[in-house]
Amino acid sequence: MSITAVVVAGGRGEVDVLTSVGGEPMVVRSVRILLATGLVDHVVLLDVGMRGDALIRACSGLPVSMRDEFPRTLFGMRPHGSQRADTTAGDGVVTASSVDVVLLHDAARPLAPPELAVAVVAAVRRGHELAVPVLPLADTVKQVDAEGIVRSTPDRSGLRVVQTPIAIRGDLVDPGLAADPVAMATRHAAAGGAVHTVPGHSAAFTVRNAWDLELAELLAGRIER
């Protein structure tokens, strides 16, 4: 069964995917997450932030290919500059209809355990259209009006926080939403598609600011001890 693994390398911000966590750029950690599953031996980097050269340098030695968009046909991927010719099996023409599973991961979630990727791929292999890892919502949520007044308290028992990586059947991929895997899952559900959930992991949080980065550094040290 064919699997195409994609890591979305997002744009710049207070903290971005080239920022180091535990001595390694987040994008590199995210690529290694998918490779560690044993399901794939090649990862496509989706260069949303248009930093191809910097990403290539960061991922030196890893079996990756570069794309700055995700068209219906994955064609013309820029091979990693330092990889051997025999490690670029994923660099050829791959059409979405010929791929059984597309595995999408946000590089801003550098501590997601490989087991999440294994779980969502397994769910799609069992026949689900799309699978996402989720966690129960721990915080109390309030409905607030335009004046900032609390009007209601939604029941959080059925609310979940969505994480990545996600897996989706290849012929259902929306190329326009590939840069945001969570948005792809949301749109798929809104269009009437079935989104299967698997248990998420607290370490698979998004690192977007200095606070997140400090927490990620602490966790990376514990994970690697």
The domain tally of the chain equals 1
Share of the chain above pLDDT 90, in %: 61
Residue at 68 is within a domain: yes
Most confident of 24-38, 48-62, 129-143: 24-38
Residue at 151 is within a domain: no
- 129 burial class (0-12, 13-18, 19+ CB within 10 angstroms)? middle
Angle between helices 114-125 and 26-35 (to 10 degrees): 50
Residue at 141 is within a domain: no
Residue at 192 is within a domain: yes
Q: What is the pTM of this model?
A: 0.85
pLDDT tens digits along 130-169: 999 999 988 888 889 898 898 888 887 788 999 999 999 9
pLDDT at 12 (0 to 100): 66
Domain with 206 in it: 3-132+161-223
Residue at 83 is within a domain: yes
Peptide bond into 165 cis (omega under 30): yes
pLDDT at 179 (0 to 100): 87
pLDDT at 68 (0 to 100): 82
Residue at 137 is within a domain: no
Residue at 146 is within a domain: no
CATH number for the domain including 98?
A: 3.90.550.10
